[in-house]
Structure 1
Amino acid sequence: MALIHVTDIEDTINFWRGRTDVPVGAALSPELDALARVYAEMALRREDAVDESRLDGPARAAWMAWYATTPDTPCIAICSTAQGDAQCKGCGRSFEEVQHWLSMTPAEKRWVWARIRREGTAWRFTRYAERAMESAPGLLSNS
């Protein structure tokens, strides 16, 4: 079971809101309508995640279009798992997550992103990342 966190659904909705001009009172675009249904169902069930299998075709296509705009990996090219750490100091992924990253589904990858963002201890999310951004704007992304 691969879960998609509510923050990714919200980010996807905002992605499509920025690309779709919907006048007040007009019908939503197919992408926004499909995502709004998923979001409403999650709210009614008080869920903070949805199994990706519950996304119908339009919602899944809309989510995948947003996903394609996000960085694939949180790697910042400082991999302490290569030095024997169970958790990478650079990106925050576990050794197993680093090893299996290429075989993970988009939803599984985004779940890892949500966890490492929430933990906020990886160098990617600390002062190191801020200094890197100052010296090379556009190099790192927190998406």
Structure 2
Amino acid sequence: MKNKFLLLTFLGLLYSCEQEGSLTGDVPSAMIDEQTSMLKKQGVFAPTSSITVNGGVKIFSENSEYKLRLVDFSISNGPDLKVYLSKSNTPTEFVNLGNLNASTVYVLPKGIDLKQYPFVLIHCQQYNHLFAVAELTPNE
């Protein structure tokens, strides 16, 4: 009986990020005018174990606000994937920007200090599983 329980627990963990979560909600998308905006930071995503990810992220300054856009982005399927602006490469201190959507432009909260948030994470919130990390570097 104990072996069956361990096997079921293992299988549940293995496939837990394959189910849809109930924590999702849409984020209104913004636009970026690349003629008038200024590229502040950018990064390239690196996957965690057994995840496939491609692409990067750019943060622009436009009209007194920061906007984050995913660039040439694709990732393994997962439920309840969120975009986090994070103080570390793990989801411990972060700002949840909303549901992952490769075509969405995320407006960062007013007053955010980009120096304190050098990472963008793709995270399965429902099952607390990190999918990908991008370290941001200043655009020079």
Say which structure, 1 or 2, has more relative contact order (CA 8 Å, 6+ apart).
2
Same fold (TM over 0.5): no
As a proportion of its length, which structure holds more strand?
2
Superposition TM-score, scaled by structure 1 size: 0.23
As a proportion of its length, which structure holds more helix?
1
